[in-house]
Structure 1
Amino acid sequence: MRWLVDWRSSVSLLGTVIKYLALSMTIPLFIAMFYQEDVWVFLLSILVTVGLGFTLERLEPEPDLGPREALVVVSLAWLGAAIIGTIPYLLAGYGTASTLAHPVNAFFESTSGFTTTGATVMGEISLDRHSHALLMWRQLTQWLGGMGIIVLMIAILPELSVNGAQLMSSEAPGPELQKLTPKIAETARALWLVYFGFTVLYILLLYGLHVAGLAPNMDLYNAVAHGFTTLPTGGFSPQADSIAAFSAAVQWVVIPFMVVAGVNFALFWRVLQGEARAIVRDSEFRTYAGAIAVLIAVLSVVLFRGAAPVLEIGGATEGVTENTLRQAAFQIGSLMNSTGYATSDFAHWDTNAQMILLFTMFIGGSAGSTGGGIKVIRWLIILKTVRRELFVAANPDTVRPVRLANRTVDEDAIKGIFAFTLMYLMLFAVAAVLLALDSARIGYDLTALEAISASLATLGNIGPGFGSLGPFGSYLEFSNVSKLLMVFLMWVGRLEIVPVLALFVTGLER
């Protein structure tokens, strides 16, 4: 039996990624110094991370990266980032009653952060116990994971840009990678530039509402914290009530940015390059925007017919029509793009409304966006392929290719999309059954809908589920076995299954 993968090269490049990940910890370190909280936590975390990174990097001074090694690097980089992310949680929780003092809980929270899932084991009491710096680290993990850790490293590290195309194709969300510039490192920088620009604009708008007196509690800290988790469609918030803790004006500002986060960022780059109509000509964007509009309209009607469930947490009853439309638009925008924010506890909505939300969770954002799920482009090609097969069944002598935006879709690409979707649905179904069985084993009363939503919310990197797992609930009551299963789901879901599962079939040869 021999190895088919150069593990030393892969682990060496993982060390490079980990080493530079320590730089991101300087942001919460500065916040810790400002508030005089947990300074030692982040100083020690930085030292441990840098030391581990240098150690792994020395395994292979001149790493050689092939297609298999790219799969290993990408998969291990996300797993390694999640492990590194637990260090501040464990240090801050050491000797306390914090839920994050337990390694499995800390690993769950960190993985949920970097994969931009937004599922949490922290409740209102747990959030209040932690420092501004630690909560900002929690937010920052989602921003780093949004556009992609590997994409960021390719943008800033010359040694990774040499094999950047292989790495980015393994990490990029969606069935294909769009190369925007002649050099892959420039493409990575272009994507991060658009991502950074939207984040800054969003933070300025949120803080502007505070300055204008329209959002008294949206101070600079909260504006930055939510800026770090909206564009990556993450959903973490330092507030236990999520976006429901803020005014209606804030909620209306959040909605379009959640929608933007689900759009292919390559389209925005083309607009900046002078192709003003690139977005409206894109068939995936038109389908995405149309699906959102239809779902908002349907959910608004369902909610308006039973207006009581859509009232805000504070009991506000102003403008039932405006409130209903806002709640519908917010929840559809949040769940379709896997953001996970909430302005209302939809776990208490009626069955019709919950079924609409469950359907929305299956769609996902666009390829090349920060949204999770199966992705609109895949559903679009699946529907076109089904239509083609029905036509050919009635007209056996006809050859009819699947076309998208006046381009013929390659048959191998269609097979890949069907294979991915089948793996996604099978993994989702098996995981839901395992979560239900394990919950029954420990005596945790988990309903079928909650088990289904837990599996879908973690595999699709969505975050909240239904029932006790709703937007203001938590995953704390699951057993450690179930939490580790959901960590696996979040990991493979962020990398869209194939890079991780491929490791188990290409790693060695007999």
Structure 2
Amino acid sequence: MSVVAVVIVAGGLLRDQDASDAIRDAAFNTISLTTTTGYASADFGAWRPALQIMVIGLMFLGGMAGSTAGGIKTFRIGVLSKAAYADLRRLIHPRGVFVTRFGRKRVTEPVVEAVQSFFLFYMFLFMSSTFILAFIDANISEGLDLITATSAVAASIGNIGPGLGQVGPAANYAALPALAKWHLAGLMIVGRLEIFPVLVLFTRDLWKR
């Protein structure tokens, strides 16, 4: 996935840069985003809109399974894709038996369900937090534009670092009101713990033991 992203981003940058600069900026920033390193060698907030959409998508991707990188993780993306394809085949062949595999290993139904639940909670957290951030900032300061609010939340949950717009690589989060910073800091903790442990803290069963 990262290689494909590098090729697409480099292709988009070729109109404004020479080949060596385009490949270097595409490779460094793409790898930095997917590994949640937090570094940037170019202001990707000034890239073309299509490439900025790619940047936000990479914020969700994250690193490999078992890594300390944030995001949804490539393993979960792969399982979701394979499970969706298996469901599509079941619609075409109702009597068929289709097994979800990742690589050569079979993925059991409990694992598929856990991945689907994680993705659902992740997207719900992203959408609700984007609304909350926009609401907080609109009532305290001049308000954030949609790109800034969206990327700030995605970058915080994924522990990416820089976002786009007013929180891009050429700027920072200093201009945000204190309440918005606390909100984003909380999202960083939830994202680092990968949501489920935080949700477990708010269940009755845990505290009854």
Task: Report the TM range for the smaller structure's normalisation.
Answer: over 0.9
Cα pair 1:363 1:376 within 8 Å, conserved: yes
Match of 1:466 in 2: 164
Give the whole-Å Cα distance in 2 for the aligned partners of 1:347 and 1:407.
Answer: 40
Cα pair 2:86 2:99 within 8 Å, conserved: yes
Cα pair 1:444 1:477 within 8 Å, conserved: no
Match of 2:14 in 1: 304
Give the whole-Å Cα distance in 2 for the aligned partners of 1:412 and 1:321.
Answer: 46
Q: Percent identity?
A: 36
Question: What are the equivalent positions in structure 2 for 1:55-454 lying under 5 Å apart?
Answer: 291-307=1-17, 320-454=18-152
Match of 2:207, as an amino acid?
L
C-alpha displacement of 1:455 = 0.6
Root mean square deviation, CA, Å: 1.4
3-state SS of paired residue (2:27): helix
| Count of residue pairs brought into register by the alignment | 208
Match of 1:429, as an amino acid?
M
C-alpha displacement of 1:402 = 0.8
3-state SS of paired residue (1:305): coil
**Are residue 498 (structure 1) and residue 196 (structure 2) matched?**
yes
Match of 2:77, as an amino acid?
W
Give the whole-Å Cα distance in 2 for the aligned partners of 1:500 and 1:417.
Answer: 16
Match of 1:313 in 2: none
Match of 2:145, as an amino acid?
T
Q: Which runs of 5+ in 1 are unaligned?
A: 1-290, 308-319
C-alpha displacement of 1:444 = 3.1
**Are residue 480 (structure 1) and residue 178 (structure 2) matched?**
yes
TM (norm. structure 1) is 0.40
3-state SS of paired residue (2:14): helix
C-alpha displacement of 1:357 = 1.2
3-state SS of paired residue (1:399): coil
Cα pair 1:364 1:376 within 8 Å, conserved: yes
Larger Rg: 1
Match of 1:466, as an amino acid?
L
C-alpha displacement of 1:507 = 3.5
Match of 1:304, as an amino acid?
L
Question: What are the equivalent positions in structure 2 for 1:4-15 lying under 5 Å apart?
Answer: none
C-alpha displacement of 1:433 = 0.5
Cα pair 1:444 1:478 within 8 Å, conserved: no
TM (norm. structure 2) is 0.95
C-alpha displacement of 1:352 = 1.8
> Any idea what the Cα deviations from partners look like across 1:94-115, whole Å, max 9, x if unmatched?
xxxxxxxxxxxxxxxxxxxxxx
Give the whole-Å Cα distance in 1 for the aligned partners of 2:111 and 2:77.
Answer: 13
